[in-house]
Amino acid sequence: MRDMNRYNPRAQRGAVLIVALVLLLVLTILGTAGIRDTTMEERMAGNFRDYSAALEAAETALRIGEDAISVTSVFSAMLFDGSDGTFGITDSSHSVDPQTSTNYGLGVPSDVMTYGGDLLVSEVPEYYIEQLPEIELPASDLTVGFQDQAPRVRYYRVTGKGHGISPNSEVILQSTYFR
């Protein structure tokens, strides 16, 4: 007879309800954390895509600037006075600041960065070219036995700036090129 009192519905105190609510709370916290992690991963992937587009745009600007130096007809038209996006750097002058947007006087042709008439990035990539002072190559293999004086080499610094899909991302790259 005592065993029958054990299963009496009036004797239950709601412990199953409390356990179920605690388990539901734990599952809700896990689900919310999973959604937050997924959202963060989506943002990171979008930022990486935006950075990659900006990097590719800056690389395009660098390569076009280097090509401009290597082509004699284009190179001979460069003034290196700052008026056309080319600057002459002397021993006493300073390099051009890549953070100043007015220094970028040369842009990538718009047909390079378009697909179906739409621009692939937020802005057309730009670049500028600096003509660095001549450097003498003393005691190099080029001078020994062949020339009376050491040859002089002229280096050029090309700086390219590209923007990503959103205007908030920006990449600036520099390369040194000699001719």
CB atoms within 10 A of CB 127: 29
Query: Do residues 58 and 172 lie in contact, with contact meaning Cβ atoms separated by under 8 Å?
Result: yes
- What pLDDT does residue 5 have? 54
Q: Where are the beta strands (DSSP E) in the chain?
A: 86-88, 106-107, 114-115, 118-119, 126-131, 135-136, 152-153, 155-163, 170-178
DSSP notation for 94-113: PPPPTT-GGG--EE--GGGG
Q: What is the pTM of this model?
A: 0.78
Q: What is the mean pLDDT of residues 79-89?
A: 92
Q: Report the pLDDT value the prediction gives residue 121, as an integer from 0 to 100.
A: 93
pLDDT of residue 84 exceeding 70: yes
pLDDT in tens, 121-143: 999 999 999 999 988 776 666 55
CA–CA distance, 28 with 40 (Å, rounded to integer) = 18
List pLDDT tens digits, range 16-66.
Answer: 888 999 999 999 999 999 999 999 999 999 999 999 999 999 999 999 999
Are the C-beta atoms of 154 and 168 separated by less than 8 Å? no
* pLDDT for residue 91: 82
Of 143 and 102, the one with more pLDDT? 102
At which residue do the structure tokens 């280096």 appear? 155
Average pLDDT over residues 147-173: 88
pLDDT surpassing 60 at residue 4: no
